[in-house]
A and B are shown apart, each in its own frame.
Chain A
Amino acid sequence: MKTRRLTPYLFLLPALAVYGIFVLFPIVDSFRMSLYRWESPFLPPTFCGLAHFRNLLHDSVFWHAAWHNILLVAGSLCIQLPLAFLLALLVNPPTWGKTLFRTAFFAPMIMPTAAIAILWQYVYEPGNGLLTRLIQLAWPNFSYAWLADPACAMLWIFVTICWQYTGFHMVLYMAGLSTIPNELYEAARMDGASEWQICRHVILPAMKPAIAVSATLSIIGSLKYFDLIYLMAGGLPEVSREVMATYIYRLAFEENQGRYGYGSAAAVVLFLLALAIIVALRGRTRRDA
């Protein structure tokens, strides 16, 4: 469309202003603050160069937090997505109940993650929780403090993550499956292909884009874990309870912390990591296309 030269910028100005103030400026500001030692809002910050980043390298809590992010994304890719794929395959054939199942499995996606975290804290309650009581039906003496076990708590939280997001990925896969024309299945069956061969040679190739989308979302989303971990893992020792985002929060805002500069350095690392992943994934999808 032809317009005057300035018009497009006027259309963009309000959005750009808000975006600049509340998204872009804070990102730049966190880079700047990561170079300062700034332990209290009442004292002036002092410049300390890259000292925070050097300290991060030796900060075992930070490395554990990053490791937990990696574990959670690996779990999503290896367990949650195949499960969602399986459910989509089961739901997809045109019989009754398709809408019912889709509605039911997707439902947790609309609930506040904070509410889900609180609900599951009670599910995992050692004395009276749903899971504990169910197991006690078989073993009356069973007792286990699920979320207080440093070795396994992240695993139990991962179960909650699956409960929340599997339906979402299932819906993505259902959308992918609906693009495969029925004639393709019929033709494959006419040629004598087994169900497994159909899955391997008809469905999987057609589902590549959907799988790429849901894997990308899982990977990018894994850096955004906060609510569940913060609320559910709070009772654990420091090295066992953090992911990167919760560690940033705790450094800056938890009592007796107030380490804004150091927290900003951790935030900068998180930002650069996210950026690297985005660039890598975009490069990949470009090559595939």
Chain B
Amino acid sequence: MTRNRLSTLLRHLVLLLFMALSAMPLLWMFLMAFRTEGDAQRAPLGLPSPWTWQNMRTVLTSGSFGHAYGNSLLLCIVSVTVTLLIAAPAAFALARLKFKGSHILFLLFLLGMMIPVHVTMIPLNRLMGSGGLGLKGSLWALAGPYIGFALPITILILRNAFAAVPQDLLDASQLDGCSTWAVFRHIALPLARPSLATVIIFNFLTMWNEFAFALTLLGPKHHTLPLALSQFKGEHDIMITQVSAALSLVIIPLLFIYVLAQKHIIKGLTAGAVKG
């Protein structure tokens, strides 16, 4: 028994050590956000002395940041919604309806999950440019690629969910006179609700954090949050306290949401891996 206790204690010591190590950069950054620049140069390891809210104020009043928050929110809500609206019927068809080419189409969708999105950076730039859709520079240039690249994982997860709906249930409702659409909309879709939550979380976080497309397709006026961050870092490079404040303003709200909904978020982010 004592030997067991000892090994448990040892185990937890190692884990706590690892946890402290991995939390240290974040903690250091949070504290940095409340330091004066002089304090940051003198003693960047202790507690801030004096504490100051000035960095937070500077970031929040710089304008571009609040704007980027709004942009990211709008873009993500629209893209996540559209993804769900068009992916759900497609996933239902792939899971439950028999038709020619269904297997090929499914594989085609899976392809988009595996290949690096960066393959499409140059052609998408051409597509969005003035010779194509003319969206380059605006926020909406991102919606198409975000939705397009969210479809594979969304369809994969929802297809598995629809495949788990009992066949009898679908047959019975069809016998009662439901159209295929009604079966999908009123029988299968409500049963897939947990998976809908999963893909909403997954897609939202992926789009919220996306950087490469934002870097190539957005103009100087419209930034999403990750791009605004890197821009802010570029302009205020030597002001470590201000950049830390900006980072904290991005990361702290995310951590809050994460702690509140961690079960769903962890499930959402690992679902693609487990079911792929």
Contacts and interface: CB of A to CB of B under 8 A. Distances in A.
Interface residues of B, number: 96
Interface string B65-103: 000000000000000000001110110111011110010
B41 interface: yes
Contacts of A113: 209, 211, 226
Contacts of B109: 15, 19
A155 B44 CA distance: 25
Interface string A1-37: 1111101110110111011011111110110010000
A8 B116 contact: no
Interface in B219-276: 225-227, 229-230, 233, 240, 243-244, 247, 250-251, 254-255, 258-259, 262, 265-266, 269-270, 273-274, 276
B6 interface: no
Given A24-B108, A267-B121, A14 B116 contact: no
A224 B117 contact: yes
Contacts of B155: 15
Contact of A128 (B40, B120, B148, B274): B40
B270 A175 contact: yes
B229 A115 contact: yes
A111 B251 contact: yes
A58 B215 CA distance: 29
B63 interface: no
A19 B110 CA distance: 11
A217 B14 CA distance: 27
Contacts of B26: 119
A245 interface: yes
B163 to A, nearest CB: 12
Given A19-B109, A104-B23, A245-B118, A125 B240 contact: yes
Q: Number of contact residues on A: which range applies?
A: 35 or more
Nearest to A98: B15
Contacts of B243: 118, 122
Given A15-B151, A109-B269, A93 B11 contact: yes
Contact of B11 (A90, A102, A263): A90
B124 A264 contact: no
A128 B240 CA distance: 9
A240 B105 CA distance: 40
The prevalent SS among residues of B at the interface is helix
Nearest to B20: A104
Contacts of A29: 123, 126-127
A267 B125 contact: no
A62 interface: no
Interface of B: 8, 11-12, 14-15, 18-19, 22-26, 28-29, 32, 40-41, 44-45, 85-87, 89-90, 92-94, 96-99, 102, 105, 108-109, 111-112, 114-127, 129, 144-145, 147-149, 151, 155, 170-171, 174, 180, 183-184, 205, 208-209, 211-212, 215-216, 225-227, 229-230, 233, 240, 243-244, 247, 250-251, 254-255, 258-259, 262, 265-266, 269-270, 273-274, 276
11 contacts: A1-B180, A12-B93, A19-B109, A22-B124, A29-B123, A30-B122, A106-B262, A110-B269, A123-B28, A172-B273, A267-B122
Interface of A: 1-5, 7-9, 11-12, 14-16, 18-19, 21-27, 29-30, 33, 41, 87, 90-91, 93, 95, 97, 101-115, 117-123, 125, 128, 130, 133-134, 137, 163, 167-168, 171-172, 175, 213-214, 217, 220, 223-224, 226-227, 230-231, 244-245, 248-249, 252-253, 260, 263-264, 267-268, 270-271, 274-275, 278
